[in-house]
Amino acid sequence: MLKFRNILLGLVLPACIGLSSMELHAQNTVHGHILDALTGEPLAAASVTVLGTNTGTTTDNQGHFELVLPDGNYRLRISFVGYTSTEMTLSLQPASRAPLTIHLLPAVIAVDEVVVQGAAPRINDPAASSHHLKATEDLLDRVPGADFIQRANFAWEPVVRGLSGGQVGLVIDGIKVIGACVDKMDPSTTDVVVEKFEKIEKTKCGFDQTQSSQIGGTINLITQKPRFDQPLYADAELSYGSVAALRQGRVSGGLTRGNTSVRGSFSYKEAGNFSPGGAEPIPNSGFKKNNYKFDLSQRIGSRHELTASYLGDNAWDVGYPVLLMDAALAKAKIYSLTHTWRPDTHFIPRWETKVYFNRVDHWMSDFKRDVRERTVMRAMNMPMFGKTRTTGALSKLELEHNAYRLEVTLDAYETKSFGDMWMFSVFEDIPDMYLLNLGDVRVRHGAIAADFITPLRTGLTARLGLRLDHSPRTVQRDEALAVLQGRWGVGDLAQSYTLGNVSLSLTQELGFGGRLRLSLANVGRLPTHVENYGHYVYNYVDGYFYTGNPNLKPERSTQVELGFEKWTSKVGIRASIFSNHVRHYIGGRNDADLLGNTSALRFRTYYNSSAAFLTGGEASIVVVLREWLELTGTASYTHGQNLELDEPMYLIPPHTGWTSLRAMRNKWRGDLEARMAMPQNRVARIFADEDGTDGYFVVNVRGGTTLGPGIDLSAGIDNLFDVNYHEHLSFGNLPNPGRNFYLTLSYSI
């Protein structure tokens, strides 16, 4: 302990000089009230967080809160489950004692917000957790309706209400980051580590079109930025997990001088082979990874701010034990420049414009495998390379007048993609072969979106969303043009899509403090560049090699959701049911134009099936048993049917849920959690020969304490009873990790 503390002190000792002077600053007691913007009623248990710090509080039954802060400038986030979060700047001087009155508008659509940076978990928030979160999946997994396709102990792909891949939008600070691996082994969730997050915003279905045009929802990973409230700050953390000998460490810090603030961070993770419950370690299941981020913010006057950001991520020696190949190296670099204008008027609270560029590279390799023993491409080594380059701009203008709000978004980007594969036989008399998976595919995309919130009458609020997308795309490399032109018998592969989306949500305040929400949407999503122009891309789900189809139509979705929620200082309930009818559903069918379809080499093309239909629902509940003790639980279910094949859709998660008893008292916190899933035997037999899975019941125990000023200790046991199980969405029935003891020690100043 002493050695660790000395190391951390050595890293951040200079900060003590700057921070010691802060103790001399006058302390200010800030009072305020948080009210419902429509009814004027006080909001009990709303959260007030000082961004960039560990300071925060919640309101009492009268909506009152109190904060004690030294002189300075602060950025506050005010949030309450079921309401639209807001941020405000607070400038404290010795003479400033005026109380604050803050109004929150009811959220007209359901937005699941998981706050990472800030104070203790919010009361009445089922997604909050008191335990150490080691990965992005830990955060998203706490939101009902979110599941993951698992290919390894790394790079899980989000699934939202049974939809995944190109049906779910995934952005980082609003930035489009397109994966380079044609086999989907580098989802954007891997490009940011959990300690870089400020929060995660997740919407389901197509009721929010401000971030992207998708039918399954959008996940926005919002990273931390420089803060102006402290002249110097730093923190560090070390962690160890037993099940895979996971070692991870991170350091971060920032410096502020006047109107300039910088922030930097670095993290490293390394895991060995992990052990399933009651079994030996799985060979070739480890990984190594580092991540770094640097931000520079410059305030220009009191209304303008420029922020330059750079994020880098590297992963190597990533084992995929149930797939054909491993990831030898994956690299992502994301650059952005953001201008934020907060004019001195209530009519335009904020206008943010961002330009960005990112590059993603991905190398796959099977040179460490015994390729003579596999059934697919036997005795062939097949190293693969993929890259994407994306350049874009995003501008969001917010307008408001009393309870009326309008957000206008302009979104434009261009992505260039390339992917290829060599095939080297282990037998000398067989010549080498070369395959072009993506031949310099260029996709351009432009969109305009408008999101309007208006009260219709007392207690009734409407939200109208409109979006128009236009996307021309083509293949630029001659070899790829020749292959696809020959396959489809066309002379021109250029395609241009125009897509219009509309959504309407109505929220009615009920007399007993509850809220009823009805959401309708007619939305679509464009085919991905791989679905249009990929060539012999191996699909691990069904074992087929896929060829893209430049004539694909966009998927169209008609969606309905009915939701109810009620939040008080003691009990919180949120429940919803939904239906989603998807026309022109993009799937795969056998390629009759190719000879030689065998059990070892099978070929398909992407095509539009007639339709698919999904229904389901989620429910969450929080019960505050004591001021320091609460019980939470969630449950979700999705039912999917392929209407053309008259069979269940594939990759539909089973009925799942979790419940947690969590306590926070003084410097101690604890969490007893049970996670469960029912068996899933509604599987696709025609489309993918999918197999069923058993249910499971897993118990986790976690806790933590504050050892001293800035020193925090977290410990826990995941999968307490060492259950051997696997998720339904796990490729090759790859089991989940068994019993895991973990320990995390952090220090901050």
27-44 burial, b for 16+ CB within 10 Å, e for fewer? ebebebbbbbbbeeebbb
Strands (E) located in 537-646:
537-539, 544-547, 555-567, 571-583, 586-590, 603-608, 611-626, 629-642
* Range with lowest mean pLDDT among 314-323, 368-377, 609-618: 368-377
* pLDDT at 139 (0 to 100): 66
- CA-CA distances (angstroms) from residue 383 to 216, 377, 389, 548, 655? 33, 12, 21, 21, 38
**Mean pLDDT, residues 222-243:** 91
Starting from the edge strand earliest in sequence, which strands make up the sheet with 169-172, in order? 111-115, 197-204, 217-223, 169-172, 175-176
Angstrom CA distances, 677 to 204, 672, 694, 727, 728, stand at: 21, 17, 8, 8, 9
* Residue 716 one-letter amino acid: G
**704, 669 Cβ separation under 8 angstroms:** yes
- The DSSP-derived string for 623-680 is EEEETTEEEEEEEEEEEEEETTTTEEPSS----EEEEEEEEEETTEEEEEEEEEE--B
User: How confident is the model at residue 7, as a pLDDT?
Assistant: 41
Mean pLDDT of the chain, nearest integer: 87
pLDDT level of residue 16 (50, 70, 90 thresholds):
very low
pLDDT of residue 150: 82
Q: How far is CA 25 from the centre of its chain?
A: 39
pLDDT of residue 17: 37
Give the pLDDT confidence score for residue 590 in this predicted structure.
87
DSSP 179: -
Q: Per the structure block, which two tokens stand in for 1?
A: 């302990």
* Residues 280-300 pLDDT 10s: 999 999 999 999 999 999 999
User: Are 583 and 613 within 8 A, CB to CB?
Assistant: no
Using CA atoms, how far apart are residues 41 and 118, in angstroms rounded to an integer? 26
pTM comes to 0.86
Identify the top-confidence range among 33-42, 79-88, 324-333: 324-333
Could you tell me which CATH number the domain at 112-733 has?
Answer: 2.40.170.20
**Residue at 70: amino acid letter:** P
The 10s digit of each residue's pLDDT in 135-183 is 566 666 777 888 888 888 877 888 999 998 889 988 999 999 999 988 8
Beta bridge partners of 268: 249, 290
Phi-psi domain of 12 (left: phi exceeds 0; alpha: psi -120 through 50; beta: other): alpha
* Alpha carbon distance 43, 140 (integer Å): 26
Answer with the residue of higher pLDDT: 368 or 119: 368
CA distance 411 to 562: 30
> Which CATH number applies to 2-105?
2.60.40.1120
Q: How many helices (H) and strands (E) does the chain have?
A: 4, 43
Give the pLDDT confidence score for residue 73 in this predicted structure: 74
Question: Among all chains, which residue has been given the structure tokens 């003479």?
Answer: 95
User: Is the predicted pLDDT of residue 341 greater than 90, yes or no?
Assistant: yes
Q: What's the pLDDT score for residue 597?
A: 52
**Of 63-67, 121-125, 704-708, where does mean pLDDT reach its minimum?**
121-125
Rg (CA), the chain: 26
385, β-bridge pairs: 363, 420
Domain boundaries of the chain, sorted by first residue? 2-105, 112-733
**Total residue count of the chain as it appears in this document:** 749
Q: How far is CA 666 from the centre of its chain?
A: 32
Question: Do residues 376 and 543 touch, judged by C-beta distance below 8 A?
Answer: yes
What is the predicted pLDDT for the residue at 26? 57
Handedness of CA 211, 212, 215, 217 (dihedral sign): negative
Q: How far apart are the first and last CA of the chain?
A: 17
d(CA 302, CA 154): 43
pLDDT greater at residue 342 or residue 678: 678
Q: Could you tell me the sign of the dihedral formed by the alpha carbons of 704, 274, 181, 308, in that order?
A: positive
The widest CA-to-CA distance across the chain, in whole angstroms, is 86
3-state secondary structure of 505: strand
Q: What is the pLDDT of residue 450?
A: 97
What does the block give as tokens for 160?
């939202």
Q: Tell me: the pLDDT tens digits for 644-691?
A: 999 999 999 999 999 999 998 888 999 999 999 999 999 999 888 899
- Neighbour count for residue 553 (Cβ, 10 Å): 15
For strands 656-665 and 668-677, give the pairing: antiparallel
pLDDT at 122 over 50: no
Q: Give me the pLDDT at residue 96, please.
A: 54
Local confidence band at 2 (pLDDT 50, 70, 90 cut-offs)? very low
